[in-house]
Amino acid sequence: MTRQRAWWKTALGIVLAALMLFPVYWMVNVSLTKTENMRADPPHWYPKDPTLQGYANVFSDQFPALGTSLFVGLGCVVLTLVISAPAGFALAKLRVRGKGTLNFVLLVAQMIPSVVMAIGFYAIYVRLGWLNTVWGLVVADSTIAVPFGVLVFTTFMSGIAGELLQAAKIDGAGTWRTFTSIVLPISRNAILTVSLFAFLWAWSDFIFASTLDRNGDMVPVTLGIYRYIGNNTTEWNSIMATAAVASVPAAILLIVAQRYVAGGVTAGAVKD
Amino acid sequence: MRVTTNTAVAERRVRSAPAPATGDRKGKRGRPTQWAALGFLTPLAAYLAIFYAYPLVRNIDLSVHDYNARAFVLGNAKFVGFDNYAAIFSSPAFGPAVRNTVVFTFGSIAAQYLIGLVLAVFFRNNFRLSGVLRALFLVPWLLPLIVSGSTWSWMLNSDNGIVNSVLRAFGIGEINWLTSPDWALTSVLVANIWLGIPFNLVILYSGLQNIPGDLYEAAALDGANAWQQFRRVTVPMLRPVSAITLLLGLVYTLKVVDVIWIMTTGGPGNVSTTLAVWSYREAFGTGQPDFSPAAAIGNLLIVIALVFGFLYLHLQRRQERS
């Protein structure tokens, strides 16, 4: 009886997941469709007579853009960790005046619409000559992840036993030493969570890319796809192939770091 | 939609002793620690000042001057006080933008929340593959928005889109999803709801995990059926989590630009233009950037987000106290 019920639920779960993931399936399906079959009416539900032409086009047209995105994503991870890990440590373990205010500022920082940040950055970058540079984009993208990173590190590091730090101190370790050789290694999970989100957000960013790096030599893949759509309304297989390739990091990260993803999503909204 | 904010990421891990967070060495040698703390915080403080405060100050500056593209580079714009704000409020685009923002925001969060809740309750049952399937529901949330946006665009395409093709099979005539004034807002709304479901599912699911199982047992003993258990146990116990989910959703949905821009660029006309999209379009969407009104709209958005942000803080405090 219970067995049967469970099977019924599994079946329903699969149907729901299939519905939810249909657009993803459709993206892959279209990416494998031949250009002449693209206008088929009704559309083919599966890649009938599949072609890899779309993917070949991705690698000839969008390869540099994928590299740029990778670079921006990794740069963003490094910058976010460098800024947020020490700050999280200070907020969690060192006595800081104005801690409440800082936490409040971090919360507010996350509510500022990115279009507002983009306008502000544009105004500054115009003067500095940072428009259309990869560095400028790394910095702008990091503003999405830094406040999140500080809050994640603060929470995580608050959970580290005080005795451990005390012991290090007795052994003669300074605060910096304690931080680098004790706190950071213990905080591996927090580092992974923050890196994961910093990378994914930078990788998927569209607003900053489309405003601060729209005419550069090195544009990220999100902008590459956007331009592709603009120039190229007929070759949807190439567009969808690029989209599929651009989704690969998300897919890999989901498989490799599933529990950090769930942890990150829950971060903040729920307290236990 | 992005997820952020504080707290309990991994408190479960690494906690060898329930040590209090701070004040380990209160009294003794407070001074060196204070200096060390300052050292550890300086990069963050500098970062916030340069990359948050300064762009925001620049925005306010832009919004009270008349910056055209030339003045923007030369920096000699005329001070106009609140003229830009006045111009926005009296613009014919203002009314529709506010209406679209309200429809888009509330429509999105209401549907995302309801679907997320139903799914969370469903996945609370432990059935075979439930973990894997639940993980699969995260996928839309991890995809770059340009990917989801362009996929939805192609699915909703009027001639060869799969959606119209399915509708035709049911005898429903062709709908110009993205180009008809009646449907453009609905189209971006549907895509955005789809994008937001994972976030709501995960948060509500973990909220459900925190409801003690004996409450359900007690309810079942009292003869409550599944619906009554849901009404009398799940809904009230989930209220704090729900409030925070909805508020976060609200703050995040208010600032959505990408999905709408990618699918309809706010059109046709202004029918799918929200405040955030309007601001983006003024600044970057046309050949002639108009940064001053764009900044003014942006600042208006900040004020709205802040109002809800304070509400969020208030709720969170109240939750902490209880």
Max mean pLDDT among A97-101, A134-138, A185-189, B290-294 falls in: A134-138
User: What was the pLDDT predicted at A229?
Assistant: 83
- pLDDT tens column, A80-130: 999 999 999 999 988 788 888 888 888 888 889 999 999 999 989 988 899
Contact map slice: B 145-204 vs A, CB within 8 A = 145-148, 150-155, 159-162, 165, 168-169, 194, 197-199, 202-203
Among B41, B159, B263, most A C-beta atoms within 10 A, so best to mutate, is: B41
User: What was the pLDDT predicted at B257?
Assistant: 94
- The pLDDT confidence band at residue B28, using thresholds 50, 70 and 90, is very low
Contact map slice: B 229-268 vs A, CB within 8 A = 241, 244-245, 248, 251, 254-255, 257-258, 261-262
H or E element: which one contains B66? strand B65-66
User: How far, in Å, CA of B248 to CA of B233, rounded?
Assistant: 24
Q: Does some domain include residue A120?
A: yes
User: What was the pLDDT predicted at A271?
Assistant: 37
Q: Is A131 within 8 Å of A125 (Cβ atoms)?
A: yes
Q: Does some domain include residue A56?
A: no
End-to-end Cα spacing for chain A: 35
User: What was the pLDDT predicted at A232?
Assistant: 62
Do B302 and A116 lie within an 8 Å CB cutoff? yes
Q: What is the mean pLDDT of chain A?
A: 87
Asked if pLDDT for residue B301 goes beyond 90, the answer is: yes
Do A254 and B280 lie within an 8 Å CB cutoff? no
Do B295 and A108 lie within an 8 Å CB cutoff? no
Instruction: Specify whether A138 is located in the same domain as A105.
Output: yes
Nearest-neighbour CA in chain A from B222: distance (Å): 22
Do A247 and B294 lie within an 8 Å CB cutoff? no
User: Pick the residue with more confidence: B112 or A215?
Assistant: B112
- The pLDDT confidence band at residue B29, using thresholds 50, 70 and 90, is very low
CB contacts, 8 Å: B40 with chain A: 86-87, 89-90, 94, 175, 179
Instruction: Specify whether A140 is located in the same domain as A161.
Output: yes
The residues, ordered by sequence, that sit 6+ positions from A252 with a Cβ below 8 Å of its Cβ are: none
Residue A110 contacts B, CB cutoff 8 Å = yes
Contact map slice: B 45-84 vs A, CB within 8 A = 47-48, 51-52, 54-59, 62, 72-73, 75
Do A270 and B306 lie within an 8 Å CB cutoff? no
DSSP-assigned beta bridge partners for residue B138: none
**How many structural domains compose chain A?**
2
Do B258 and A207 lie within an 8 Å CB cutoff? yes
User: What was the pLDDT predicted at B142?
Assistant: 86
Find the closest chain A residue to B240 by CA distance.
A270
- pLDDT tens column, B203-248: 999 889 889 989 999 998 998 888 999 999 999 999 888 988 898 8
Give ipTM to 2 decimals: 0.88
Interface contacts (A, B; CB < 8 Å) = 397
Residue A247 contacts B, CB cutoff 8 Å = yes
User: How far, in Å, CA of B241 to CA of B116, rounded?
Assistant: 13
Q: Does some domain include residue A206?
A: yes
Q: Does some domain include residue A182?
A: yes
Among A119, A135, A143, A214, most B C-beta atoms within 10 A, so best to mutate, is: A119
- The pLDDT confidence band at residue A42, using thresholds 50, 70 and 90, is confident
Nearest-neighbour CA in chain B from A168: distance (Å): 13
Residue A98 contacts B, CB cutoff 8 Å = no
Instruction: Specify whether A142 is located in the same domain as A178.
Output: yes
Among A4, A37, A83, A94, most B C-beta atoms within 10 A, so best to mutate, is: A94
Residue A106 contacts B, CB cutoff 8 Å = yes
H or E element: which one contains B219? helix B213-221
Q: Does some domain include residue A272?
A: no
CATH-assigned architecture of domain B112-321 = Orthogonal Bundle (1.10)
CB contacts, 8 Å: A12 with chain B: 122
Q: What is the mean pLDDT of chain B?
A: 84
Q: Does some domain include residue A33?
A: yes
Do A166 and B141 lie within an 8 Å CB cutoff? no
Residue type, A98: G
Residue A9 contacts B, CB cutoff 8 Å = yes
Find the closest chain B residue to A97 by CA distance.
B34
Q: Is A110 within 8 Å of B38 (Cβ atoms)?
A: no
Residue A183 contacts B, CB cutoff 8 Å = no
Least confident of B13-27, B66-80, B120-134, B219-233: B13-27
Instruction: Specify whether A127 is located in the same domain as A210.
Output: yes
Instruction: Specify whether A152 is located in the same domain as A193.
Output: yes
- pLDDT tens column, B55-96: 999 999 999 988 877 777 777 778 888 889 999 999 999 999
Q: Determine the average pLDDT of the residues in A231-259.
A: 83
User: How far, in Å, CA of A183 to CA of A164, rounded?
Assistant: 9
Least confident of A131-140, A250-259, B213-222, B282-291: A250-259
Residue B271 phi, psi (nearest 5): -65, -25
Q: Determine the average pLDDT of the residues in A237-265.
A: 83
Asked if pLDDT for residue B315 goes beyond 70, the answer is: yes
User: What was the pLDDT predicted at A189?
Assistant: 87
User: How far, in Å, CA of B253 to CA of B193, rounded?
Assistant: 10
The residues, ordered by sequence, that sit 6+ positions from A227 with a Cβ below 8 Å of its Cβ are: A219
User: What was the pLDDT predicted at B296?
Assistant: 95
Q: Does some domain include residue A168?
A: yes
Do B55 and A117 lie within an 8 Å CB cutoff? yes
Instruction: Specify whether A188 is located in the same domain as A225.
Output: yes
Contact map slice: A 145-164 vs B, CB within 8 A = 146-148, 150-152, 154-156, 158-164
Domain limits for position A25: 1-51
- pLDDT tens column, A188-230: 888 998 999 899 999 999 999 999 988 888 899 999 898 888 7
- With a pLDDT cut of 90, the percent of chain B lying above it is 47
Q: Does some domain include residue A57?
A: no
Q: Is A261 within 8 Å of A254 (Cβ atoms)?
A: yes
User: What was the pLDDT predicted at A202?
Assistant: 95
- The pLDDT confidence band at residue A13, using thresholds 50, 70 and 90, is very high
Instruction: Specify whether A67 is located in the same domain as A24.
Output: no
Asked if pLDDT for residue B26 goes beyond 70, the answer is: no
Instruction: Specify whether A9 is located in the same domain as A30.
Output: yes
The residues, ordered by sequence, that sit 6+ positions from A115 with a Cβ below 8 Å of its Cβ are: A207, B255, B257, B276, B279, B280, B283, B294, B298, B301
Q: Which string of DSSP letters, residue by residue, matches A189-256?
A: HHHHHHHHHHHHHHHH--HHHHHHSSS-SS--HHHHHHHHHHH-SS-HHHHHHHHHHHTHHHHHHHHH
Least confident of A8-12, A150-154, A228-232, B35-39: A228-232
Residue B286 contacts A, CB cutoff 8 Å = no
